[in-house]
Chains A and B, each alone.
Chain A
Amino acid sequence: MRKAPDLLYSEEEEALRAAVRDLLADHCDAPGVIARTESDAPHDLAAWKALADGMGLAGLLVPEAQGGQGATHREVAVVLEELGRAVAPVPYLAGAVVATEALLECGDEELLGRLASGRAIGVLAVGLHRAPGTAFPAVRLESAALHGELTGIADAAVADVLLVPAEDGGLYAVEADDATVTPQVSLDLTRPLATVTLDGARGRRLGDAQPAVRRALRAGAGLLASEQLGVAEWTLTQTVRYLKERKQFNRPVGGFQALKHRLAQLWLEVASLRAAARNAADALATGEDTDLAVAVAQAYASPVAVHAAEEALQLHAGIGMTWEHPVHLYLKRAKADSIAYGTAGAHRGAVAELVDLRAP
């Protein structure tokens, strides 16, 4: 058995959490996020700039020599917990994690530097639902120009550069100005998808797509568990608070055992998700037992986050059903997250392979 993973938060990680939470309190309050989802610009680029540029968080995974902060997935996971708590509409997971991991695999210094500094937002042009290690579509390469359409690309609307797999097995960098990005009406209002259409776009070959995409999606899946933890934690905390205040039958409804037991069960699930998410972040950071840690975390996280958001809606009852109350943002994020980077079922399939519990 490998050395036990460090499942706690260091003092530095807690300080980072506090700083991110403060920043999001200023930028991403719930009414503002709801209003923004209905505007032409659902992404909060001011918050992104403050996180990426102001705090230097875009480059956490990038070594200092390449213009980053040289931190690890453990710190990134803490940032994602906070972004999940706020359902912050910023391209952090897509840019600072998934696209960055693909570039780290390809070793492209120039683009890494641009992304790490926050000067550019990068997006990997692979559908959000694709699980690590599964097939993904590629565009045609004809006389050094790229042609084709890719759908379900999260945060592509704010990308400056797209990382596009092509049929020759390469991963190409395409400047967003050379592509047509069309927003899709998305279930998750705070992480909108888009279609990327390339019609003879110029691309620069970065390296092989297969290992880069695999690595990128694995990191995305593993760290998504921390975002899901943030979503679940916020919904549980808000629901507990609401049920202490809300009175019916002359008592706080949080005193009824039928509801207390549901919340206690949910608390246990969230506490367990914290261990699974920390384990995945630690495994990504140390490189030990990573595939299994990621698959376990994703197989566990999705049902918990969805359960938490669904319970929050039901227990908020009428007010939870309104557009005005933010719980729907969390439900939509949780449900979309349960498909992002592979469903729980897909990750259970990965577990089956990894621990030799084969299908019939």
Chain B
Amino acid sequence: MTDAAELRRRTQELLAAHPPAGTDRLDFLKARFDAGLAWVHYPEGLGGLGAPRSLQAVVDAELEAAGAPDNDPRRIGIGLGMAAPTILKYGTEEQKQRYLRPLWVGEEVWCQLFSEPGAGSDLAALSTRAVREGDDWVVNGQKVWTSSAHLARWAILIARTDPDVPKHAGITYFICDMTDPGVEVRPLRQITGEAEFNEVFLTDVRIPDSRRLGEVGDGWRVAQTTLNNERVAIGGMRLPREGGMIGPVSKAWRERPELRTHDLHQRLLKLWVESEVSRLTAERLRQQLVAGQPGPEGAGMKLAFARLNQEISGLEVELLGEEGLLYDDWTMRRPELVDFTGREAGYRYLRSKGNSIEGGTSEVLLNIVAERVLGLPAEPRTDKDVAWKDLAR
């Protein structure tokens, strides 16, 4: 069993062999990966030591204190949070060896080709087709809401390999090479003026069968690993008090007494309290995970996060009054990082509208809580025993 003391010892060994001050950033990250200190709960040889996940904090603290570079996790969030756990769980030994190291060190950026114009909440109805040709699959279709597609080397992709069976059964999960000539990425401009996301058009893209994850027809199950990790990534961030959307509006309230009204005061206090309770709920969830008792609160955290972000940013625009009528900049841009609290109030207000849509709409999440946590009956399904090709669309 690898304990905290052992991890500290190994971290110090890494630092001694590769002093951060005199080592190239990428070389240091590769050495860290090879020492099993990248994600300690991963297996040995794949950047980890098979240690409890909670002990990662021990390594991170030692490295931070020594001024070591990190892998800029926000830039490679989709790879770290979604692709990696899926590859770890369903990948072949060869796939794990090939993809995880460049993913973790940030040499290769990943994106996610899941949503389609005709398959949003009903993701399993997706129509991008993959047809077997010899050792390859030939893929045609359109994906949407793909962040980082223009930066990505690889994508996790789900596509329909059998239209003659019910929709969940005919999907297969692939790793798609984003440099394939059949992949076309177009920015998708959104209500904030910028384009965080892309549309991705796939035309006769050839994917070797060796880049399939999991069995043919088992893609829906494989995708659950990806999606569950996405919800944790979106809702489970640890924040200090006033660390989220409530921070800027509280600051504005304190610094600009001339903007205060009684109505706004009552609303602000209610949202401040709810933000603090939401932060505590996330902290409690984290403590449960560390104690090895994962709770169902995770599904709920994103619901709370979306509603609070929207209400708080809406209040902030109102508080600003005359200034709230202005917007910082409508210029079309393709930001590399998404920061929900970045830029000004108007941006926050508009961007947070996406929080109740991306990563599962709030309506779908309420269904998930009702059915999986409370055990209430599922919606009547009219699509369960119908071949995908016969579904209404």
Contact = CB atoms under 8 A, between A and B. Distances in A.
Interface of A: 1, 4-8, 240, 243-244, 251-252, 254-255, 257, 260-261, 263-265, 267-268, 271-276, 278-279, 296, 299-300, 345, 348-349, 351-352, 355-360
Interface stretch (B15-23, B269-277, B348-356): B269-277
Given A4-B287, A252-B377, A263-B376, A357 B272 contact: yes
Listed residue (B269, B272, B291) with the most chain A CB atoms within 10 angstroms of its CB? B269
Given A263-B376, A296-B273, A352-B269, A268 B369 contact: yes
B379 interface: yes
Contacts of B272: 351, 355, 357
A300 B367 contact: no
Nearest to B262: A360
B300 A351 contact: no
Contact of A260 (B277, B291, B366): B366
Given A260-B370, A279-B280, 17 more contacts: A8-B287, A8-B291, A240-B374, A255-B378, A255-B379, A255-B380, A263-B370, A264-B365, A265-B303, A268-B369, A272-B280, A275-B283, A276-B277, A296-B273, A351-B273, A352-B269, A357-B253
A264 B362 CA distance: 11
B369 A274 contact: no
Interface in B321-375: 363, 365-367, 369-371, 373-375
B236 to A, nearest CB: 14
Given A1-B241, A348-B270, A261 B283 contact: no
A268 B300 contact: yes
A348 B366 contact: no
Nearest to B376: A254
B134 interface: no
B284 A274 contact: yes
17 contacts: A4-B287, A244-B376, A252-B376, A260-B376, A263-B370, A275-B284, A296-B276, A296-B277, A299-B273, A345-B266, A348-B266, A349-B269, A357-B253, A357-B272, A358-B254, A359-B265, A360-B260
B131 interface: no
A108 to B, nearest CB: 35
A278 B370 CA distance: 24
B225 interface: no
Given A352-B265, A356-B254, A357-B250, A267 B273 contact: no
Contacts of A272: 277-278, 280-281, 300, 304
Interface in B255-313: 257, 260-262, 265-266, 268-270, 272-274, 276-278, 280-281, 283-284, 287-288, 291, 293, 295-297, 300, 303-304
B367 A264 contact: yes
Nearest to A360: B260
Please tell me the size bucket of the interface on B: 35 or more
Contacts of B373: 264, 267
A303 B122 CA distance: 35
A5 B254 CA distance: 27
Given A243-B376, A271-B281, A357-B250, A260 B269 contact: no
Nearest to B363: A261
Contacts of B261: 360
Nearest to B273: A299
Nearest to B379: A257
Nearest to B253: A357
Contacts of A279: 280
A274 B366 CA distance: 19
Contacts of A271: 281, 295-297, 300
A283 to B, nearest CB: 11
Contacts of B291: 8
B interface: dominant SS: helix
A324 to B, nearest CB: 26
Listed residue (A264, A299, A349) with the most chain B CB atoms within 10 angstroms of its CB? A264
A254 to B, nearest CB: 4
Nearest to A357: B253
A279 B273 CA distance: 13
Nearest to A265: B366
Given A7-B284, A7-B287, A261 B260 contact: no
A264 B370 contact: yes
Interface in B233-248: 240-241
A114 to B, nearest CB: 37
Nearest to A352: B269
A237 B276 CA distance: 25
B377 A255 contact: yes
Contacts of B276: 296
Listed residue (B262, B280, B370) with the most chain A CB atoms within 10 angstroms of its CB? B280
A276 to B, nearest CB: 5
Contact of B377 (A244, A345, A349, A359): A244
Contacts of A252: 376-377
A267 B374 contact: yes
A8 B376 contact: no
A4 B377 contact: no
Given A264-B366, A272-B278, A348 B262 contact: no
B277 A275 contact: yes
B303 to A, nearest CB: 6
B265 A360 contact: yes
A351 B269 contact: yes
A6 B283 CA distance: 9
B273 A348 contact: yes
Contact of A357 (B268, B283, B296, B377): B268
Nearest to A355: B272
B376 A1 contact: no
A332 to B, nearest CB: 25
A111 to B, nearest CB: 36
B45 to A, nearest CB: 34
B81 to A, nearest CB: 23
A350 to B, nearest CB: 10
A244 B257 CA distance: 52
A7 B295 CA distance: 13
B269 A357 contact: yes
Given A264-B367, A274-B284, A348 B257 contact: no
A7 B269 contact: no
B254 A264 contact: no
Contacts of B283: 4-5, 7, 275
A240 B269 contact: no
Given A260-B371, A264-B366, A357-B250, A275 B269 contact: no
B134 to A, nearest CB: 46
Contacts of B269: 299, 348-349, 351-352, 357
